[in-house]
Amino acid sequence: MTMASLVMELPALTLLGVGLHRRAGLAPGWALGVSALVFLAGALVLFRRLARWADDARAPWWRVWLLEVPYTVGVTLCFLTAWLSLPLGALGLLGYLLGAPWSVLPALAVVHALGLLAALWGCTVGRLVPRVVRREVRIEGLAPALDGYTIAQLSDLHLGPYVPRWLYRAWVRRALSLDPDLVALTGDYITAGEGYLDDVEDFVRRCQAPDGVAACMGNHDYFFTEEGVARALERGGARHLRNRGFAVERGGATLWIAGVDDRWSRRDDLGRALEGRPRGAPVVLLAHDPAQFPRFVSEGVQLTLSGHTHGGQFAVPFFPRWNLARVGQRYTAGVYREGPSTLFVHAGLGTSGPPARFGTRPEVALLVLRAG
């Protein structure tokens, strides 16, 4: 990962070095040396956090917003432009060897200028302002009394240094403005550690709905903690669905809301989650990782709500399913249907790794259940 980042940064490093040589009058060797030190200093800003994914202690706001986020802009710039800047850099090197040095510099400068604009967007508005997604889902066997039942889904909050309290409270207000019957939280409330568990509790407590808050665990919720997130969810008043469920009733009709524990640590148990389900009651299952959707279909789950992928965090604009999560995931974003079953993969609200998004916005989802 570190080597890949270094390769992506080479064109920008070279461009800065040439600029220092031409504009500041530094000798070529000194100019490239100073440029390399600038990039190294930036990398050291995030080294500890990214090396351990450690958000286990509160970071001072100035470090996050004056050092870490600006460095992330630079990393994101290099990532977004690598597909074009690396071939241009290779062409420039070839030109240098043939006696025509720096012939591609103007093109590299334009590419990086456009990349900087995209990176600034992705590290600010692109990751901070969620879109609202409304989906109607046909549920086989849903009684007319439950037709129109609404669930606001929030996922992958990753509460920590990049999610100040004003931001996650705004997410809650946006979700509650949709007037849902139930709030469903589908895991990864933190990135790692126990430094932000009070934020998890505060977030859950603010999620008020007629049928309350249902929550399942994600893989990050066990990173450098064992029961910390579980306790925070319960203190906040959530129904913590660790392989269990509960019934929602309207006019004599029943809907079974269930949740499975984390699949990565092999704590999930679908059989236990469906125990106690009234005969014929449709099932809405909270499962952080969507990978086992085919199994859920075979067990008669009508609707699965998942997250985990973040929509890739980086996607081709206007084509959200062409995203980085496709490298290892079959289900990456949006609605998938298999027979009578539906899967909705939430694109998440927070981020892990670099605090940046491009081409895939954070989202607040409202699922409206319709009788099938």
- For residue 283, what pLDDT is reported? 98
Quick one: 263 and 305 in the same domain?
yes
Quick one: 335 and 294 in the same domain?
yes
Quick one: 100 and 190 in the same domain?
no
pTM: 0.92
- For residue 55, what pLDDT is reported? 57
Quick one: 116 and 171 in the same domain?
no
- For residue 104, what pLDDT is reported? 81
Closest CA to 367 of 142, 189, 160, 162: 142
Distance CA(175)–CA(153), nearest Å, equals 8
Choose one of 123, 145, 163: the last residue of a domain. Answer: 123
Quick one: 253 and 197 in the same domain?
yes
Q: Domain range holding 91?
A: 2-123
Tens digits of residue pLDDT in 11-37: 888 888 878 877 788 888 888 888 888
The count of domains in the chain is 2
Choose one of 90, 106, 123: the last residue of a domain. Answer: 123
Quick one: 113 and 191 in the same domain?
no
Alpha helices (H) along the chain: 2-24, 28-52, 61-63, 69-97, 105-123, 125-128, 165-176, 197-206, 228-236, 270-274, 293-298
Quick one: 266 and 283 in the same domain?
yes
Quick one: 111 and 172 in the same domain?
no
- For residue 24, what pLDDT is reported? 83
Choose one of 123, 143, 166: the last residue of a domain. Answer: 123
Helix (H) or strand (E) holding 316: strand 315-316
CATH of the domain at 336: 3.60.21.10
Quick one: 339 and 359 in the same domain?
yes
Quick one: 181 and 54 in the same domain?
no
Quick one: 115 and 143 in the same domain?
no
Quick one: 329 and 215 in the same domain?
yes
* Alpha-carbon dihedral 54, 316, 157, 74, rounded to 10 degrees: 40
Which tokens in the block code for residue 263?
């699949």
